[in-house]
Structure 1
C-alpha cells in the first residue's frame, strides 16, 4: 500500500486574520491532540496582535479527499490524520462524507473491509481458490467475473477506487 505523506493543517490566528495580518503555522496532524493544541497555543502566544485566543484551520495537506472544516475539533483532526495514514484515505473520506462520527470510522473500516484488490473479480478469484474440479480449472476467471458481477448488482459489496486499486467493503 502506498504510504500517505504526513497529514498537516495550517492553523491561523483569528485575531490576526481579523486585523488583516497573516499569522499562522503548519502543524503535523498525525500526533496526539494535546501536542497539536500545544503548538497552536505557542502560535497564538507569538501573535503580533497580542490578544490572540481563537484560531481556525485554514488549510490542510495529505488528508486525501477528507475535508476538514475551519472549526473541526483537534481531537477529530488527530483521529482523521491517524486514519488516513493507516487506511486508504479514500475509505476514510467515504465514511466521513457519509456522516459517520470520526471515532467510528476506523471500526467501520476494520469491520467491513475485505482489502484492496485490482478488481472485485480478483477478490472472487481468491474466494474460489483452487478447490474446483479439474474440468472447471480453466474457467476460474470467468466464474470469478460472474461472481463479482453478482456481488456488485446484489449490493453485497461496495467498491471504492483508491490509489492502490479497488477497496472492497462488505455490506453484510
Structure 2
C-alpha cells in the first residue's frame, strides 16, 4: 500500500517530480517525506525554514509568510525558543496522483485519511473483503471510534452470490429446519424471503465483481 505524491508546482510546469511513499508509515513520517520531496522541487515557489529546539531536540518546518512578521517559533514540546537551522526554497503544494491498495482515493485526500485507508486495507485483506467495499461500508455504518477489525467482527455477515443465498443460509443457521417436513422445505420461496431481508434494512449488501458482501446495519 503506497501513494505517489506529486509536486504541483513542477507538474504545472510540465515536469514530473514526486515520490512513492509507504502508506503504512505514520502520518508524521509521510509528512516529512513529502516535505523533503517538495524541498527538492525543480520549481520552488515559497521560502521555508527548519528550526530545532536545543533543549529537547524537537524540530519544526514552516513556510514563511509574505504578509507579516515571522517570529521565532516556540518548541511545541517544551515551549522554549527554537534555533534556526536552515532557510531554503521549496515547492508548496502536492497532490496524490497515484496509489496502490487503498481503494478509491481522491488526489487531495489528507494523510490522516491515507493512514486510515491503510489500516482498513490490512483488515480487508485478512478478511478477504475488497478494500473499496470495506471502506464504503465503514463510511456508512461504522461508529466514529470503531476500528476496521472490530467493525468486521461485529458487522460482517459474509460473501454470497446473491441475496437469496444469504437469506437461505442465515435462515438455516438460525432456525431448526428439521421441524419443517422435507417435502415442504422444497416449496420455500427463498427469493421472497430475500426480499423481506432487503426491505427490513437490518442487513445491507455491497456488490463487487458480482459478489455480494453483507454487513449488519446495527
Q: Same fold (TM over 0.5)?
A: yes
1:90 equivalenced with 2:132 (yes/no): yes
Structure 1 residue ranges without an equivalent (≥5): 1-5
Offset at residue 77 of structure 1 (A): 0.8
Offset at residue 95 of structure 1 (A): 4.4
Offset at residue 76 of structure 1 (A): 0.9
Q: Following superposition of structure 1 onto structure 2, how do residues 153-168 of structure 1 map, counting pairs within 5 Å?
A: 153-163=199-209, 165-168=211-214
After the TM superposition, which of the residue ranges 55-64 and 150-159 deviates more from structure 2? 55-64
Determine if contact 1:151/1:157 at 8 Å carries over to the other structure. Answer: yes
Determine if contact 1:16/1:48 at 8 Å carries over to the other structure. Answer: yes
The equivalent residue for 1:21 is 15
Q: Matched residue pairs, number?
A: 164
TM-score under structure 2 normalisation?
0.59
Higher strand share: 2
The structure-2 alpha-carbon separation of the partners of 1:167 and 1:140, relative to structure 1 and needing over 3 Å to count, comes to farther
The equivalent residue for 1:115 is 158
Structure with the larger RCO, 1 or 2 (CA within 8 Å, 6+ apart): 1
Deviations 1:97-127 (A, max 9, x none): 7598986673655543222223333333333
Between structure 1 and structure 2, the one with the greater Rg is 2
Deviations 1:2-32 (A, max 9, x none): xxxx3x3221123323444221112232332
TM-score under structure 1 normalisation?
0.71
Offset at residue 93 of structure 1 (A): 4.5
Higher helix share: 1
Match of 2:176 among 124, 131, 134: 131
Whole-angstrom CA distance in 2 between matches of 1:123 and 1:94 = 20
Deviations 1:36-81 (A, max 9, x none): 22321332232223422432222333333x23242x2101111112
